């Protein structure tokens, strides 16, 4: 028996769901528009998921050996997928997490034991009112029937990453995260909204590994291209 959420029912009556692309009523993303989402190309780096990689590893992962077992994403960061992520993050369209999370979970093959969102600094979270990574992590965890735990904290504010070079992004988040000792022995699935260069996920994975995590994987809603990420 399905239990209906009375608050959700009231909200749907006041502001009924509309497709994120065509605005048809009754759904946050209709089946026709879902088909138009830009799926991540099968030719991508097996570690950082960068699309367009000419071999199993992109040049950066081949050279640097990132501290993460692998990152997956269902969509490329362009067109409708990019719009949905930006609307969720900057326009407060939190309901889009319910649309994106099942597609994210479907890409994960790792046998994770816990789902962990990438944290925002408390100041940034107060400004925005929510952490988009946590919204996605809750739904990913529910889909995969795993616990979601906040095992990471951001120890210092970091400048916005948009528009920064890969080198600058790596420097911005270096040692910006601390993991809880409870991460010890866990196979962690890190969740964030978008992976551009992997810098944030790499920094989180390094902190979790230092805390004793058995291994760390990552999943995001979208993955930027090599051209977008450099």
* Model pLDDT for residues 40-94, shown as the tens digit of each residue: 988 889 999 988 766 788 888 888 889 999 999 999 999 999 999 999 999 888 9
Question: What's the pLDDT tens digit per position in 4-52?
Answer: 445 444 444 446 788 888 888 888 899 999 999 999 988 889 999 988 7
CA–CA gap between residue 198 and residue 184 (Å, rounded): 23
pLDDT at 230 over 80: no
Q: 10 Å Cβ neighbour count for 9?
A: 10
Per mean pLDDT, which of 117-121, 137-141, 154-158, 197-201 is the most reliable?
A: 137-141
User: Would you place residue 3 in the very low, low, confident or very high pLDDT band (cuts 50, 70, 90)?
Assistant: very low
DSSP reduced 3-state for 126: helix
Verify that 139 and 123 share a domain, yes or no. Answer: yes
Residues 93, 3: one domain?
no
Collapse the DSSP code of 49 into the 3-class scheme (helix H, G, I; strand E, B; otherwise coil) and give the result.
coil
What pTM did the predictor assign? 0.86
Query: Based on the domain organization, do 142 and 210 belong to the same domain?
Result: yes
The string of DSSP codes covering 137-183 is HHHHHHHHT--B---EEE-S-----TT--HHHHHHHHTT-EEE-GGG
* pLDDT tens digits along 112-131: 999 999 999 888 888 889 99
| Number of folded domains that form the chain | 2
Report the pLDDT value the prediction gives residue 1, as an integer from 0 to 100: 31
d(CA 69, CA 48): 9
Kindly give, in sequence order, each residue whose CB lies less than 8 Å from that of residue 62, ignoring residues fewer than 6 positions away.
55
The DSSP secondary-structure symbol of 51 reads B
Same domain? For 61 and 138 the reply is yes
Q: Is residue 196 part of a domain?
A: yes
Is the same domain home to 15 and 89? Answer: no
Q: In this predicted model, which residue has the larger pLDDT, 26 or 213? A: 213
Best-predicted range by mean pLDDT (20-24, 131-135, 162-166) = 131-135
Is residue 136 within a helix (H) or strand (E), and if so which, with residue range?
helix 132-144
User: Structural domain of residue 28, as residue ranges?
Assistant: 1-36
DSSP 2: P
- Phi and psi dihedrals of 40, rounded to 5? -65, 130
**pLDDT value of position 121:** 85
Residue 229 lies in a domain: no
């Amino acid at each position: 028996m399905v239990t209906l959420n009375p608050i959700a029912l009231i909200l749907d009556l006041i502001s009924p769901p509309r497709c994120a692309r065509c605005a048809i009523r009754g759904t946050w993303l209709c089946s026709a528009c879902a088909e138009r989402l830009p799926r991540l190309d099968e030719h991508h780096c097996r570690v950082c998921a960068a699309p367009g990689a000419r071999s199993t590893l992109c040049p950066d992962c081949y050279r640097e050996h990132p501290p993460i077992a692998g990152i997956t994403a269902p969509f490329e960061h362009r067109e409708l997928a990019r719009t949905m992520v930006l609307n969720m993050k900057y326009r407060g369209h939190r309901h889009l997490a319910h649309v994106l999370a099942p597609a994210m979970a479907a890409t994960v093959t790792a046998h994770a034991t816990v789902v962990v969102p990438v944290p925002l600094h408390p100041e940034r979270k107060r400004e925005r009112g929510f952490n988009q990574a946590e919204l996605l992590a809750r739904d990913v965890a529910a889909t995969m029937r795993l616990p979601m735990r906040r095992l990471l904290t951001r120890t210092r504010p970091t400048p916005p990453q948009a528009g920064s070079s890969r080198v600058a992004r790596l420097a911005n988040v270096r040692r910006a995260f601390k993991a809880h000792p409870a991460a010890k022995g866990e196979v962690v699935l890190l969740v964030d909204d978008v992976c551009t260069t992997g810098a944030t996920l790499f920094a989180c994975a390094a902190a979790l590994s230092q805390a004793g995590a058995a291994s760390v994987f990552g999943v995001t809603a979208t993955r930027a291209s090599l051209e977008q990420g450099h």
